[in-house]
Amino acid sequence: MPFLKENGFTRRQCEICNRYYWSQDSDRKNCGDSPCQEYTFIDNPPTKRKYELSQMRNIFLKHFEKNDHTIIKPYPVIARWRDDVYLVGASIYNFQPYVTEGRIPPPANPLVISQPCLRFTDIDKVGQTFGRHMIIFEMGGAHAFNRPEKEIYWKEDTVRFHHELLTQELGIDSEEVSYKEDFWSGGGNAGPDLEACVSGLEISTLVFMMYRYVGDKLVEMPFRTVDTGYGMERWAWLSQGSATGFHATYGNLLENTIKLANIEINNETITSYARIALRSDTQALPIEKKQIAENLGLTIEEMEKTVKDFQRICTTLDHTKALCFILSEGIVPSNMQEGYLARLLIRRTYRMLKILGIEDRFFDIVDDQIAYWSRDFQNLKFMRDEIIEELDVEQEKYKKTLDKGADLVKRISRQIKTSGENEIPQTKLVELYDSHGLVPEMVQECAAKEKVTINIPEDFFEKVAKRHLDPEKTKEDVDVNIPKEKLEKYPETTKLYYQNPYLSEFKARVLDVIDEKYVILNQTAFYSEGGGQLSDTGNLLFDGKTTKVIDVQSVGNIIQHTIEGPAPLVDIEIQGKIDWERRISLMRHHTSTHILIGAAKRVLGEHAWQSGAAKDVQSSRLDISHYKHLTRDEINKIEQLTCETITNNIPVETFWLSRDEAEKKYGYRLYQGGAVPGTKIRIVKTGDWDVEACGGTHVRSTGEIGIIKILRVERIQDGVERIIFASGPQALKKIQERDQQFSDTAQILNTPIENVKHAALTITDELDSSNKKLRRILEEVAKIEAESLLKKANAIENTKLIVIEKEKWDEEEIVMLGSKISKDDPHSISIIILIGKTVRIFVFAGKNAIKSGAHAGKLAKELSAIVEGGGGGKDYFGQGGGEQKEKIQEMKQLAPTILKKQLIKK
Ligand SMILES: [Zn+2]
Ligand SMILES: [Zn+2]
């Protein structure tokens, strides 16, 4: 490190943590990072003036601009361009993997950016560490991408730029700065790094990414990346010397929220407490607490209340800011993926606000956040109404969950007590949150009423969030039947369907046939399954023979045709014919999904993203993210818009663009169908209506679709609505089918079509009152029959047995009669045998008969055995049956004896 050496830095070992560091200060004994060194900047900032976060961001960006870096606008916080992470956790995420692997050029080189980042791993520490941890923070990144043919800069300049910003721009004494040596790894890459510390605060990490992991071995990369992370909030904090990082980051938002909560927060208390607690991640020790409280003239309880309230307000600020950013980018709270993390933040915030007694001010705080941050991030202002609406819906859902949750916790607590325990286990806590959305503090409150305790793990939310942080890798379930060594041998299959999607017949040469079943051609017009579009089917014609193509799959660059029928010889020329009716229907449906997503966005808002799609021949489906059920009105509006798009006959263009160019031109909405691989992206552009990265086949212009009809809408999970629709002739067919049903119904009802609804309502009304009448009559009949049967009953011990046979009765009538008998005479036992195709047995026992030992269920079981069947039930009612009708007489004769046995046993 010549720069450090030339400037009088020497390499030493920390006396406390034993790590190596560089410093100019010969008296320094430690690495300069906490906990080895206390924070000395509080009330005593080392900079020549104070900077707000936005001012600090500016100084940082301008400093690097002066040093030939191009300033890049921040990327979204939702990493739509990647399928391995949901959220941007560092500025380098914007450039992984394509730029860092040297596959596409960076947007500028070198570049500088201040990137909002989200990290859920420290969620439980937010607030408690007074600003050292935040879920949402800005990472200042200065990046240089070194290529073998062009070196930009490496360690020397990286450290120099950093040091000059600190000393020349901010006026920090060089002796205050130390650089700690470390080794960084992440995202499959690694390299040495320096961690810069000033006055006990680690403010930046300077990483020299130069290795790649192959297995567990480090391999040097030809592409080396300078990956620096300047913690902007920490830099602002350092310059302000404020009691906590939240003071520096949130400025008057913090004061306003404290006022809103109408609570006394004594600044002196916070400052003294934070000073001690900030030495490490842990809370102040009991002995220290006592000391601080005494100095402040407070009791420990008074002091702790102030501190806790303050920490809750800080957490609220952090979470609501994170929410604004996530929701503004179209994430809908749900139980899945990024939506889950949004929900987690909402519920935690709601809980904190409730404790502070200001849960009704949730939206005011969010409004303040939007006003505050949209000075630098204008999209927030633009999305304000959608954010508030989503929060409103989500909060209502949560309130309902809480009501249900209280009962659930009560039940669980009682179960735990009956099993002799008095604590709800932690696994149950995680489940209660994950499946029922109950935060542990709420569980604790409800459980306490039942005198059951719980132990909340310190990293509870980190544990919960971790389960949802990494996308599950969707495994490509392609049936690969070609040996790998062969695959590498073939040239890439030419995709004729991209050159001309209307090509239905073509000639090609057979490159290989595997197992008489899988054909590889030099070129093909058969679309291989992908992007939710099914593969084509059709025929291969050769030597006067025809063989069916039943499936087509891509394996890397090779397309595999699965055939059914005779196999062609290798090297001959074949003719391919695709099933055109199927293909054109798939094309219409595919373009329709693009039109529909454009319409959904216009009707529902920017948060309506595609979350899945499947294009089929008869009908297709499109899943969209939305926080409520679609109303009839919204569905109609979406249909109307698709109709306009079709009648406007908009051309559908397809073309390839380099990834960076495509993102620059069309933004991240491109990735409707998820992240797509490759350095070049295929763009499907439907005029100004919709632009997507898509590999499917499409019609030339929207007019060819003819019509889109939404057949039905389903909610497949909380936060996702499924639209099932048909296009073109298939849509017409569905409309005709419905129309036919409608006119058939009108005919049945003997009424004109316009009157069907009215006629149906009249009929159901009439049916209702007829049913009521019928029931009254049946009750009357049952009453009369019960009376007459009881008169003829067979006295057994002190019970009365009735055995009768019925035909053509239904269950309701039998139950009505049997219950009536049991009620009229509590000593009665009635056995009703229903004879149809088989024998069914119903047994009813009155209260007193049960007291005497009769058991209807057991009787039913024994009687059923006689007709060679089974049965059972409760003491007052049992049922069963069997196949052997000829045994009915035998059963009837045995019934009194069986009953007698029950009675005697007692
Ligand atoms: Zn140390
Ligand atoms: Zn598509």
308 shares its domain with 396: yes
Task: Please state whether beta strands 70-71 and 111-118 pair in parallel, antiparallel, or not at all (unpaired).
Answer: parallel
CA distance linking residue 658 with residue 680, whole number of Å:
4
Quick one: which ligand is closest to 202's CA?
1
Quick one: which ligand is closest to 19's CA?
1
Quick one: which ligand is closest to 591's CA?
2
| Closest-CA residue to 817 (of 852, 846, 778) | 778
The CATH number linked to 555 is 2.40.30.130
Cα 94 from chain centroid (whole Å): 21
- 591 Cα to the center of ligand 1, angstroms: 60
Whole-angstrom Cα Rg for the chain: 37
Residue 679 tokens read as: 């350095």
Cα 594 from chain centroid (whole Å): 22
CB count, 10 Å around CB of 637?
A: 17
- 703 Cα to the center of ligand 2, angstroms: 17
Q: Find out whether 293 and 303 touch, Cβ atoms under 8 Å.
A: yes
Q: Find out whether 842 and 814 touch, Cβ atoms under 8 Å.
A: yes
CB count, 10 Å around CB of 586?
A: 24
CA distance linking residue 56 with residue 170, whole number of Å:
10
Residue 699 tokens read as: 């019609």
| Closest-CA residue to 115 (of 134, 142, 138) | 138
- 211 Cα to the center of ligand 2, angstroms: 37
| Residues shown for the chain | 906
- 586 Cα to the center of ligand 2, angstroms: 11
CA distance linking residue 117 with residue 122, whole number of Å:
13
Quick one: which ligand is closest to 595's CA?
2
Cα 637 from chain centroid (whole Å): 27
- 623 Cα to the center of ligand 2, angstroms: 13
Quick one: which ligand is closest to 531's CA?
2
- 107 Cα to the center of ligand 2, angstroms: 26
Dihedral sign for Cα atoms in the order 87, 89, 91, 97: negative
CA distance linking residue 351 with residue 701, whole number of Å:
52
- 844 Cα to the center of ligand 1, angstroms: 83
Query: Please, which residues have CB within 8 angstroms of residue 547's CB and are 6 or more apart in sequence?
Result: 539, 540, 563, 564, 565, 566, 567, 568
Quick one: which ligand is closest to 33's CA?
1
Quick one: which ligand is closest to 673's CA?
2
CA distance linking residue 432 with residue 64, whole number of Å:
49
232 shares its domain with 267: no
Counted domains in the chain:
5
Q: Is residue 30 part of a domain?
A: no
Domain boundary among 199, 232, 249: 249
Residue 323 tokens read as: 């929410």
Beta bridge partners of 556: none
Quick one: which ligand is closest to 30's CA?
1
CB count, 10 Å around CB of 19?
A: 16
- 280 Cα to the center of ligand 1, angstroms: 12
- 681 Cα to the center of ligand 2, angstroms: 12
Q: Is residue 756 part of a domain?
A: no
CA distances from residue 257 to 1, 309, 356, 392, 401 in whole angstroms, order as listed = 47, 11, 11, 20, 27
- 20 Cα to the center of ligand 1, angstroms: 8
Beta bridge partners of 191: 184
Q: Is residue 474 part of a domain?
A: no
- 735 Cα to the center of ligand 2, angstroms: 25
- 96 Cα to the center of ligand 2, angstroms: 24
For every residue of 721-776, which 3-state class applies, written as one string? EEEEEEEHHHHHHHHHHHHHHHHHHHHHHCCCHHHHHHHHHHHHHHHHHHHHHHHH
255 DSSP 8-state letter: H
- 718 Cα to the center of ligand 2, angstroms: 24
- 498 Cα to the center of ligand 2, angstroms: 13
Written as one letter, the residue type at 686 is: T
- 201 Cα to the center of ligand 1, angstroms: 12
- 149 Cα to the center of ligand 1, angstroms: 39
Q: Supply the DSSP string of 188-222, one letter for each residue.
A: TEEEEEEEEEETBEEEEEEEEEEEEEETTEEEEEE
Q: Find out whether 242 and 42 touch, Cβ atoms under 8 Å.
A: yes
- 143 Cα to the center of ligand 1, angstroms: 28
How much is the pLDDT for 296? Answer: 83
- 697 Cα to the center of ligand 1, angstroms: 60
- 550 Cα to the center of ligand 2, angstroms: 23
- 532 Cα to the center of ligand 2, angstroms: 8
How much is the pLDDT for 478? Answer: 55
Query: Please, which residues have CB within 8 angstroms of residue 617's CB and are 6 or more apart in sequence?
Result: 534, 582, 585, 586, 589, 730
Give the three-class secondary structure for 118: strand
CA distances from residue 509 to 485, 506, 553, 679, 860 in whole angstroms, order as listed = 21, 10, 18, 29, 75
- 482 Cα to the center of ligand 2, angstroms: 28
297 shares its domain with 393: yes
How much is the pLDDT for 480? Answer: 61
Q: Is residue 163 part of a domain?
A: yes
Domain boundary among 400, 435, 466: 466
- 691 Cα to the center of ligand 2, angstroms: 9
CA distance linking residue 556 with residue 565, whole number of Å:
26
- 591 Cα to the center of ligand 2, angstroms: 7
Q: Supply the DSSP string of 851-898, one letter for each residue.
A: HTT--HHHHHHHHHHHTT-EEEE-SSEEEEEES-GGGHHHHHHHHHHH
- 294 Cα to the center of ligand 2, angstroms: 68
Beta bridge partners of 564: 548
Quick one: which ligand is closest to 32's CA?
1
Residue ranges for the chain with pLDDT beneath 50: 475-476
Residue 146 tokens read as: 């070194």
Quick one: which ligand is closest to 615's CA?
2
Phi/psi at 531 (5° precision): 60, 30
Q: Give me the torsion for CA of 127, 132, 136, 138, rounded to 10°.
A: 150
- 647 Cα to the center of ligand 2, angstroms: 21
188 shares its domain with 292: no
- 135 Cα to the center of ligand 2, angstroms: 34
Q: Is residue 704 part of a domain?
A: yes
73 shares its domain with 184: yes
| Closest-CA residue to 453 (of 465, 463, 445) | 445
Q: Is residue 891 part of a domain?
A: yes
The CATH number linked to 664 is 3.30.980.10
290 shares its domain with 259: yes
Quick one: which ligand is closest to 670's CA?
2
Q: Find out whether 52 and 40 touch, Cβ atoms under 8 Å.
A: no
CA distance linking residue 591 with residue 37, whole number of Å:
62
| Closest-CA residue to 49 (of 236, 322, 323) | 236
Quick one: which ligand is closest to 12's CA?
1
Give the three-class secondary structure for 81: coil
- 593 Cα to the center of ligand 2, angstroms: 7
276 shares its domain with 360: yes
Quick one: which ligand is closest to 696's CA?
2
- 786 Cα to the center of ligand 1, angstroms: 93
Q: Is residue 743 part of a domain?
A: no
Give the three-class secondary structure for 845: strand
Cα 93 from chain centroid (whole Å): 20
33 DSSP 8-state letter: B
Phi/psi at 815 (5° precision): -65, -40
- 142 Cα to the center of ligand 1, angstroms: 26
Q: Give me the torsion for CA of 238, 239, 243, 248, rounded to 10°.
A: -100
Q: Supply the DSSP string of 93-110, one letter for each residue.
A: GGGTTTTTTTSS--SSSS
Domain membership of residue 512 as a residue range: 484-578
For every residue of 584-640, which 3-state class applies, written as one string? HHHHHHHHHHHHHHHHHHHHHCCCCCEEEEEECCCCEEEEEECCCCCCHHHHHHHHH
Instruction: Name the one residue in this structure whose structure tokens are 């009365």.
Output: 800
205 shares its domain with 56: yes
- 583 Cα to the center of ligand 2, angstroms: 15
The CATH number linked to 802 is 3.10.310.40
Quick one: which ligand is closest to 620's CA?
2
pLDDT in tens, 725-734: 999 999 999 9
CA distances from residue 310 to 274, 288, 630, 741 in whole angstroms, order as listed = 11, 19, 41, 65
- 695 Cα to the center of ligand 2, angstroms: 7
411 shares its domain with 525: no
Domain boundary among 677, 706, 737: 737
Quick one: which ligand is closest to 598's CA?
2
- 36 Cα to the center of ligand 1, angstroms: 5
- 6 Cα to the center of ligand 1, angstroms: 24
How much is the pLDDT for 475? Answer: 45
561 shares its domain with 595: no
For every residue of 650-686, which 3-state class applies, written as one string? CEEEEEEEEHHHHHHHHCHHHHCCCCCCCCEEEEEEE
- 382 Cα to the center of ligand 2, angstroms: 27
179 shares its domain with 50: yes
- 636 Cα to the center of ligand 2, angstroms: 23
The CATH number linked to 91 is 3.30.930.10
- 702 Cα to the center of ligand 1, angstroms: 66
Task: Please state whether beta strands 720-727 and 201-214 pair in parallel, antiparallel, or not at all (unpaired).
Answer: unpaired
CA distance linking residue 96 with residue 746, whole number of Å:
62
384 shares its domain with 281: yes
- 698 Cα to the center of ligand 2, angstroms: 8
Q: Is residue 2 part of a domain?
A: no
CA distance linking residue 98 with residue 90, whole number of Å:
16
- 16 Cα to the center of ligand 1, angstroms: 5
